[in-house]
Amino acid sequence: MIPGGRVELMINLGTPVNFVSSAGKWFEMKNNMYVLGQRNTWFKAVHLPGAVMWGVRFKPACFHPFCTGPTSLLLNEIAEAAEIFKSIDTGIYYSRMISTTSDDNRIELIESLLKKILHTKSMQDNEFPKMLNLIKTNYQETAIFEFCNNHKLYYKKLERQFLQYAGYTPKEFLSVRRFYRAVEMIHRTDHNLTNICHQLGYYDQSHFIKNFKNYTSLSPLKFVKGAHEIPKFLTASQSV
């Protein structure tokens, strides 16, 4: 599993699934609801026959309204949903989901749960969503300080906002998003790796390779030859 800047709500309705981070940290998902935090490294998933996993993917910086703490606390972590949504009995919703075989009913239950836990408070800084949209279109890490100068922003303030809402520093966010864009281009376009490297503003091939190894443990070429199904499936979504 590769990083993409998103937090995910995962609901295991089948056999246990284990996740192992690049640092060797082991997480076991039993029959329950879990929150998989945003990542800046790769995870491996180990599952047995009979695994049934439902999930909700939140766009970058869009999970914060559903929790009270800073999103940075979720970086490379997996926690039971009950620990994150403390005011809601998630067990009730899980029991209802596992007792029905209707996909429509399960979708309705998930929507009901999210509406129930959604905090009605607005974001502390209404300008942040605008800055996020601007910054998401720029995949060059070195341009962050230029971005701050052009928009008369203090970098430290922007960094605090990113850690609060997106869970990354701005530079880390740009790095993850650029990498994810590279994976999207690998699966969605006919561009070769050299063209992707240049189009996304990497310094050179060695920088591109180093970035890929940080996030997948593989070089871009080995990643392509591996034909990994989960990244291909996840990057197929145009909206998320």
Q: Would you state the pLDDT for residue 169?
A: 92
By the 8 A CB rule, do 179 and 171 touch? no
What pTM was estimated for this model as a whole? 0.87
Please give the Cα distance from 86 to 43 (Å, whole number): 26
Ordered mean pLDDT values, 10 residues apiece, the chain (240 residues): 91 94 92 95 88 91 87 95 90 95 96 83 66 72 75 86 92 89 89 91 89 91 80 63
Q: Would you state the pLDDT for residue 125?
A: 63
Q: Would you state the pLDDT for residue 234?
A: 67
Please give the Cα distance from 130 to 111 (Å, whole number): 26
Q: Would you state the pLDDT for residue 121?
A: 52
Q: Would you state the pLDDT for residue 142?
A: 58
CB atoms within 10 A of CB 29: 22
Domains of the chain: 7-117 (no CATH), 128-234 (1.10.10.60)
By the 8 A CB rule, do 100 and 17 touch? no
Q: Would you state the pLDDT for residue 15?
A: 94
